[in-house]
Each structure stands twice: as structure tokens, then as C-alpha cells.
Structure 1
Amino acid sequence: MTIVQRLIENLTASDRRILTQVSIGASSLSFLGSAFIVLCYLLFQELRKFSFKLVFFLALSDMLCSFFNIVGDPSKGFFCYAQGYSTHFFCVASFLWTTTIAFTLHRTVVRHKTDVEDLEPMFHLYVWGTSLVLTVIRSIGNDPEHLGVWCWTQTGRAGTVVHFGTFYAPLWGAILFNGVTYFQVIRMLNNATRMAVGMSERPNHSDSRADMKALNRWGYYPLILIGSWAFATINRVHDFIEPGQKIFWLSILDVGMAALMGLFNSIAYGLNSSVRRAIHERLDLWCPEKIRRWLPVSLKLRGQLQESELVSLRIEAQK
């Protein structure tokens, strides 16, 4: 990275070290969280269902996005150039996998279709193909001599426009799609739950509360992408309006929150009742009784009571 670039970016060496440490720390957390979900899928046979397979590919994309984000450094020349495109490819794939999960839930619950497993090849073509096309488009006219602070961003208005067109535009399109889709799913299941409770002579309030809790959690899913990329979007807009005038605190929020996307996804999508139950069953088999006594009792209870949130709510919707 040349002295001219550093002046353009308006960041001191100390500021850049801090941003690098923030990026590596947050990306490491995301890498560990995503790797845990990937490992659970590979180890636990009962998790290898279609719905969790989509979560597996989401976690795999997050894991690789975090890995390449950790190893990136503009001082490494061509390696950084290649790493930047790898980061872009897998980060795009990550938010595209969230749209396939939302689509699957909508098709199953709202439209009552049972053919979602047949659509898996189309999902792969859509996610990996779109990610590849956007990455190739971004490479056209790209100059490795004008990389920004991170390997996958470029300086100046032209670089910002390209970055918006190949990353932020599809990102916010995915956020809009997920928001509308989950709104329709939640609205339908809310109505179905009320009808089921109203038709029952002795309604089970605990089941209703569990279903509503699951519905509320689905409503937070679109907020993961918003929270992860809102500051980055604001920072790109600022870069376009005032190129070369970096706001350090905004850059920290930009880098830190974006790098935590994998961790947020692994917690929201991956740590569901099925995963908790599978882990608890293994602990029952492998851990001595003395250790199991110290584990939270709620783990086992929640694993037993919440068999499958999607299946139970789908049954309610079909009544």
C-alpha cells in the first residue's frame, strides 16, 4: 500500500492497525460460530435434513467469508487481489442463502407446497451462479494498485459505484425480500395460531407461547443483515460523497459489524432446538454424571418440548 493511498484513505498506521485487529477479532468469532454449525451438520446424522442443509451451506459460506477476511492484507499484492474476490464471492453467497431459507419457509408454510427439496439444484445454481457473476462483473476494470483499506474495496467514486452495484444493491434486495417473506409467513401463522386456540375447548397456552416465540424469532432474521451491513452501507455512501475523508469511528462500526455477520447467522439460524437436542444427547452419552449435573436443565427441557418449530407451526397452519 503506497503512501499516496494512505493519504487518500486518510488513515494513520495506528488507525489501520486498530481496524485490522477489529476485523480479525470479529471475523474469528464468526469463523468459530460458523465452523461449529458446519461441524454439527457433519457429525450429527439426524441434522441432515433439507431445512438444516440450507443452514449448513449458509454457515459454510460465512465460514469461508470470515476466513478470507482474516487473511486479507493490501500489502500482499496479488494474493490480496485474489483474496478480495474470494471474500466478495462467499459474502454474497451468504446473504443469498438466507433468501433461499426465507423462500423455503414461505413455500412450505404459506403456499403449502411439499416440493422444496426438488428445488435444491436451482438453489445452488442461483446462489453460486449469482455470486460468481457479481464477482466477475466487479473484476472488470478493477485496478489492484488502487485497493482501499480492505482487499475487496477500492478507492474513489468509481470503486464505490462498482461496489454498490455488485454487493450492496443485491444485499438490500435480499433484505427487502426476506422482510416481505417473513412478514407474510408470520402473519399467516399468527392467524392460524389464533384460529387453533379459538377452536380448542381447552387451549394449550404453553404451546401457543412457544409458537409465538418462534414467530418472533423469525421476525428478527431480516434484522441480522440490516444490523451487519447498515454501517457499511452508510460508510460507502459517505465515501462516495466525500472520497478520501474517512470517519474512523464509522469505519470501526463498518468493519466490526460486517465481520460479525457469520456469528449472528450461526446463532439465529444454526442454534435451533434440533441442534441443542443433538448436542444434549451426545453429552448424555459421553459426559460423566458429575459434569452433566452442572449443565443447565433448560437445555434438555427445551430440546424435548420443541421438536421442530417449522413442522409444528406448519401443522397449525394446515388445520
Structure 2
Amino acid sequence: MSSLQMIGDLTAGDRRVLAAVNGGASALSFVGSSFIVVCYLLFKELRKFSFKLVFFLALSDMLCSFFNIVGDPSNGFFCYAQGYSTHFFCVASFLWTTVIAFTLHRTVVRHKTDVEDLEPIFHLYVWGTSLVMTVMHSIGNNHGHLGVWCLTQTGRTGKVIHFIAFYAPLWGAILFNGFTYFQVIRMLNNARRMAAGMADHPRQFDARADMKALNRWGYYPLILIGSWAFGTINRIHDFIEPGQRIFWLSFLDVGMAALMGLFNSIAYGLNSSVRRAIYERLEFWCPDKLRRCLPSCLKLRGQEEESELVSLKIQDQQ
């Protein structure tokens, strides 16, 4: 494709900026998600079912970011491979967030202990749905190649299929996660108030750590919203006004979507268990002077180690 060619209102310079933003943001997500994957593989104490779900989420983010970093391959086989692979693993990423939300809800709200037995169903649901959505995405005519994106649907029918194959399950996941975490947080808040009102009932955990975990769970649905809100708006605008792309909207679309893996790795992966595992290794290998220079986020006080709720409550039942 000629470097002087314009697509919509985006010049070759605009597309170079978008490609740079996509590559930089995807690299950050790749590093963040790879860090969680490496922690899971290295630290045996993290290999519990709860963190295994986070591992598969990080693995999907890592592969999605990797294929995003490929950037602007030439038309042909590699472009199609990038487009299909990115679509598959990005869909798998937000589907794994629904699995985590479902697991937390089933354990905390419904008091079920059979979540580990459902792991094969989880894999069938995530990878099977991702494959179906990717195959569906290939349907339609007029596949384009727009700088950062391969397999961009330029025809009206293709754009409708793209909405169905990507944005419909995406916003379905957002609604499901929001409703699920709302129920979990409401139940735990009620339980906390009841425990606080019983003078002879010992506290099960520190109140401040409890509220910290509750607030953290409340942020999880916002990750998908923040990552894909601009992309959704951009696709709707492109459907209504085809060929009239807005640069700043495309800039936010590309940048926020590519940062999804980084957001997930921070929210889901960097919990107290991971920080404790890292600090214990550093405490063993590093001299005293170097340990004193460690970031405060890696230094866990004894009370916090015992009382801080992990990202998934089911770790207490292992």
C-alpha cells in the first residue's frame, strides 16, 4: 500500500502515529502480562486454581499484545494471520474475565466448592467461543488493511458482522461482570456490617483490608469499559459516517485497547500473593542494604500478609 495513500481522513502520517501508539501500548501490555505468566510458572505457591484463571487471562493478553506488536504487516498471509490471531486472543481475554467473575460469584455468593471441577467447561467456553467469533469475523466482503489494523471490515455487511463477532460479546462480558461484582460486593458489605454489629463475634479479617479488596473488585468491570469505550464509539461513528475517520478518536481507540493487557495484569495479577512471593525471593537473595531500597509496594507488613483478601476468595478454601 502506497505511503501516500489516504484512507478516510487519515493520512500516512496519521497512520504512522497510530502504529507507533499501538506498538508502544502493546509492548507495555506484553511486558505486564508476561510478568504474570512468568510468576505463575516460577512460583509454585501461586499455582492454585484461583491464580490459574489469572494465568490464562494473562496468557491471552500476552498473545493478543504480541500479535498487535506485529504492527503493519504487508497484505497477504501474515496480515490475515495477525488479524485472526489478535481477534481470537482479545476475545479470549475478556471471556476469561467473565470466568473469574463467575468463579468468585459461585464461591462467595452461592457458597459452592465445585469450581475446580468446572475447569474443562471454562476452557471449552473461552476457546470455543473465541474460535466461533473469529470464524464469524472472517465472513463478509471488503477486508481492508488500515495501517495498524489487519482485516479491517470496510463493507457495511462486514462492519455489522464485526459488531456481532467482537463488540456484542465484549459488552455482554462487561454487563455480566458488572452485575456479578455488584452482587459479590453487596453480599460482603452486608456480611461485614453484620459482623461489626455483633460485639461477641470476632472479626475474620481487618476492615481496612476488606474494603480495599471490595474496592478493587469494583474496578474490574471498568477495565473493559475503559479499554474499549473509545473503540466502540469509533466503530459506531465509522458505521454512520464511513470513510470519515476522526484522528483523535482513533488515537484513543488504539491506545486504550492496546493497554488492556497492562490493566489486567495490574488489577488481577499484582495481588498480595504475587508481591509476597517476589519479596521472599528478593529477601533471600538480596543483601540488607538492597532490600531496604525496594519499592514500598513489595514490602508487606505482617498484619497485611495475614488479613489482606486476595483477588479471588476461593484461595481461602484450598
What band does the TM-score fall into relative to the shorter chain?
over 0.9
Provide Cα deviations, 1:202-255, integer angstroms capped at 9, x if missing partner: 876981111011101100100000000000000000000000001000000000
Q: Does 1:148 align with 2:146?
A: yes
SS of match in other structure, 1:309: coil
SS at match of 1:151: strand
Taking the TM superposition and a 5 Å limit, the aligned residue runs for 1:1-319 are: 1=1, 6-144=5-143, 146-149=144-147, 150-201=149-200, 207-297=206-296, 299-302=298-301, 305-307=304-306, 309-310=309-310
The 1:175/1:274 distance shift into structure 2, 3 A limit, reads same
CA distance in 1, matches of 2:97, 2:12: 37
Deviation track 1:177-203 (CA, whole Å, cap 9, x = no partner) reads 000000000000000011111113487
CA offsets per residue over residues 45-87 of structure 1, 9 Å max, x none? 0000000000000000000000001103253422111110000
Per the TM alignment, residue 290 of structure 1 is displaced from its structure 2 partner at its CA by: 1.6
Q: Tell me, in whole angstroms, the C-alpha distance in 1 between the residues paired with 2:248 and 2:297.
A: 40
Deviations 1:88-124 (A, max 9, x none): 0000000000000000000000000000000000000
Aligned-residue offset at 1:299: 3.0
Counterpart code for 2:84: Y
Aligned residues: 314
- Structure 2 letter corresponding to 1:309: L
Any conservation in 1 of the 2:271–2:310 contact (CA below 8 Å)?
no
TM-score (norm 1): 0.92
Q: Which moved more, 1:209-218 or 1:253-262?
A: 209-218
Unaligned runs of 5+ in 2: none
Q: How many Å separate the matches in 2 of 1:315 and 1:25?
A: 35
Q: CA deviation at 1:312?
A: 9.8
Residue pair 1:157, 1:239 contacting (<8 A) in 2 also: no
Q: Which runs of 5+ in 1 are unaligned?
A: none
What TM-score does the superposition give when structure 2 sets the normalisation length?
Answer: 0.92
Alignment identity in percent? Answer: 78
Task: Indicate the SS of the match to 1:10.
Answer: coil
Q: Which amino acid aligns with 1:271?
A: L
Question: Within 2, Cα distance between the matches of 1:134 and 1:312?
Answer: 28
The answer on whether the counterparts of 1:27 and 1:70 sit within 8 Å (CA) in structure 2 is yes
RMSD of the TM alignment (CA)?
2.3
For residues 245-276 of structure 1, the C-alpha deviation after alignment (integer angstroms, 9 at most, x for no partner) is 01000000000000000000000000000000
Could you report, residue by residue, the CA deviation over 1:148-199 in whole angstroms, capped at 9, with x for unpaired residues? 3411422232232121010000000000000000000000000001111111
Q: Residue 177 and residue 311 in structure 1: after superposition, are their counterparts in 2 closer, same or farther (change >3 A)?
A: closer
Distance 2:62 2:32 in 1: 8
Cα shift at 1:296: 3.9
CA gap 1:23/1:3 in 2 versus in 1, 3 angstroms: closer
Q: Which has the higher helix share?
A: 1
